[in-house]
Every structure is written in C-alpha cells, then in structure tokens.
Amino acid sequence: MSQTRSIPSAAPARPLLWWALAGDAAASGACGLLMALAADPLSGLLGLPVTLLRYAGLALLPYALFLAWLARRPVPPRGLVWAVIAANVLWAADCILVLAAGAFTPTGLGVAFVLVQAVTALAFAELQLIGLRRAGR
C-alpha cells in the first residue's frame, strides 16, 4: 500500500495593497534614516540645507512606522489608506515646490534626489490606490 504525502499549499499571495504599503514603509524609512543621520554630508552633495534634510528625514521616520503598522493589519482601514495616498501626493507636491520656489540652489544631484522622491511618492500613491480598489472587490 502506498502512502500519499500531502504537499503543503503555498502561502497565499500578498495583495498589492500590502506590497504598496510595505514598500512605501521601507523606502520612507530608508530615506528618512539617510536624511536624518547624514544631513551634513548630504547637504554639500545636494546643495540643500542641513535643516531641510534633517527635519524632512525625521518626519519620514514616524510615517514609515505608521505604514509598517498599517501593512501588518489584515484589512487596512480604507480611510487610513486614503490618508496615506494623500500624504504621498502632498510629499510629491512639496518636493516640486522645493525645486520651483527657488529658495535653494540644489546641485544636479540635489535636483535628481528631490525628483526621485516626488516620482517615488506618486508611484506608491498610484499602487496604493490600485491596491485599495482591488481590495474593495
């Protein structure tokens, strides 16, 4: 008589919303740590003020922790996800405003650093919006 071995089923795939929130948490946390801890050397490379870099970095750290907490929820509350989407759009707008206001003279690398943040924030907002819509089905 042969024995039948059961093959363990694969873990359920994580939904897009989880990936969008967790990815945003990781990116925000990494960027926040970089800006908060390395504001002095970054300032010279980017042509942006130390205080702007440090405080923007410090602002990202609790946001990243909040995103990580939200991603761990079995079903993230829709209102909180909408708040995250709005925060990402606002961060992108602030990045563009920093460049457009002309108050600083960033280096080429500084312009790229700020634009990458804006594009990344908008990309996460879009992924979170798509994930939220899929979760609503």
**Residue 5 per-residue DSSP state:** P
Query: Would you state the torsion angle of the CA atoms of residues 37, 68, 87, 42, taken in this order, to the nearest 10 degrees?
Result: 20
The half-sphere exposure of 114 on its side-chain side, counting CA atoms within 13 A, is 24
Cβ neighbours of residue 122 closer than 8 Å, sequence gap 6 or more: 88, 89, 92
Where are the domains positioned within the chain? 16-135
SS (H, E, C) 26-85: HHHHHHHHHHHHCHHHHHHHHCCCHHHHHHHHHHHHHHHHHHHHHHCCCCCCHHHHHHHH
**Residue 73 per-residue DSSP state:** S
Written as tens digits, the pLDDT of the chain (137 aa) is: 556 565 555 445 679 999 999 999 999 999 999 999 999 999 999 999 999 999 999 999 999 999 999 999 988 999 999 999 999 999 999 999 999 998 999 999 999 999 999 999 999 999 999 999 998 76
Q: Is the dihedral of CA 113, 97, 24, 129 positive or negative?
A: negative
CB-CB neighbours of 44 under 10 Å: 11
Residue 6: phi and psi, rounded to 5, are: -90, 135
